[in-house]
Amino acid sequence: MPARPLPPEPISLSTLLMDAATAEALLERLRWQRGRPNCPHCGATQCYRLTCVRSGGVRFKCAACRKQYSPRRGTVMERSNVPTGRWLVALALAAGTPVNGLPARIERHTGVSYKTAWTMVQRLKANPSDPLLTAMNRAVDRGIILFTITDRGQSQPVRTVPRSPSTLMAMAAASTP
Ligand SMILES: [Zn+2]
């Protein structure tokens, strides 16, 4: 089952927030690097795609064990009510901007409450080797993510400083023996 196509790169943060289909497609690509969903219950790669009409969220049903799973399973996004696009922007900000002031930046650029943003950052801090954070870090390194946001019709750069060693990922790497 091929993954859905992504729009041309780089993908802006605004696109992730406003285009749910792009957000879901990027989530799948970040989650399964080989491009094929992989059942967390039995490891089979044969599956059916189930798309929620209301939210656009994607689930898979394993053709071997018949259990369902989501690309969020086993990641910081598991059992979170925050929409996929907002989570992906938060992950991009965590990978590409300093950890200092990260919750406020997530609040400002995704529209979640400060409390929610703070909770998201706690999840990220507790899971520095999360598969989505790791994959997003690579995507940021490769320039796949464009750090601009559209504000009242104007494109605003989110990241004004070059990639700094004070990001969450860099700190996690530095603390690993
Ligand atoms: Zn299975």
Strand, helix or coil for residue 166:
coil
The per-residue pLDDT for 164 is: 65
Residue 117 lies in a domain: yes
- One domain, residues 144 and 115: yes
Please report the beta strands in the chain, taking only residues with DSSP state E, as ranges in sequence order: 11-12, 47-51, 58-62, 68-69, 145-146, 148-151, 154-157
The per-residue pLDDT for 123 is: 97
- Residue 46 Cα, ligand 1 centroid: separation in angstroms? 8
- One domain, residues 61 and 128: no
List the structure tokens of 54. Answer: 């209301």
Residues facing residue 151 across a β-bridge: 154
Q: Whole domain around residue 27: which residue ranges? A: 11-32+75-175
- Residue 10 Cα, ligand 1 centroid: separation in angstroms? 34
The pTM assigned to this predicted structure is 0.89
- One domain, residues 66 and 82: no
List the structure tokens of 169. Answer: 């990922």
Residue 4 lies in a domain: no
Neighbours of 123 (CB within 10 A): 17
| Site of tokens 């690579």 | 138
Instruction: Please give the tally of structural domains in the chain.
Output: 2
The per-residue pLDDT for 163 is: 64
Residue 2 lies in a domain: no
The per-residue pLDDT for 161 is: 62
To 10 degrees, the CA torsion angle through 118, 102, 94, 162? 180
Residue 5 lies in a domain: no
The per-residue pLDDT for 95 is: 93
CA distance 69 to 37: 10
- Residue 66 Cα, ligand 1 centroid: separation in angstroms? 6
The per-residue pLDDT for 177 is: 61
- Residue 62 Cα, ligand 1 centroid: separation in angstroms? 5
In the predicted model, residues of the chain with pLDDT beneath 50 are: 1
- Residue 70 Cα, ligand 1 centroid: separation in angstroms? 12
Residue 99 lies in a domain: yes
The per-residue pLDDT for 8 is: 79
Residue 85 lies in a domain: yes
- Residue 64 Cα, ligand 1 centroid: separation in angstroms? 5
- Residue 134 Cα, ligand 1 centroid: separation in angstroms? 24
- One domain, residues 55 and 120: no
The per-residue pLDDT for 133 is: 96
